Structure 1
Amino acid sequence: MTESKVKKAISIRFDPAEYASYAAMVESAEMSVSDGLRLLVAEKLAQAEQVDMTGLEICCQFKWKAIDSAFPEHVANLLLEVKAPGGISEGLLQRLVFVLPEFWTDAGYEHLRIDSAYFHRVTDDYHYKTSTKAKRNVMSFHLIDSHWRGAVFDYGSGLSRQAREARIIEALTAHISQTIRCYLIDHLPTARVLPEELHREMISVYDKEQITNLMKL
Structure 2
Amino acid sequence: MDTKHGIEWRVAESRIPYPEALATMQARVAAIQEGARGELIWLLEHPPVYTAGTSADPAELIDPRFPVYPAGRGGRYTYHGPGQRIGYVMLDLARRTKDVRCYVHALEAWVIDALAQFGIQTFRAEGRIGIWTRDGGSEAKIGAIGVRVKRWVTMHGFSVNLSPDLADFGGIVPCGLPEFPVTSAAALGKDIAPAAFDAALAATLPAFLAKLEPGAPAACHNRDKFPG
Task: State TM-score, norm by structure 1.
Answer: 0.36
Looking at CA atoms only, which structure, 1 or 2, has the larger radius of gyration? Answer: 1
TM-score of the two chains, using structure 2 as the length reference: 0.35
Higher strand share: 2
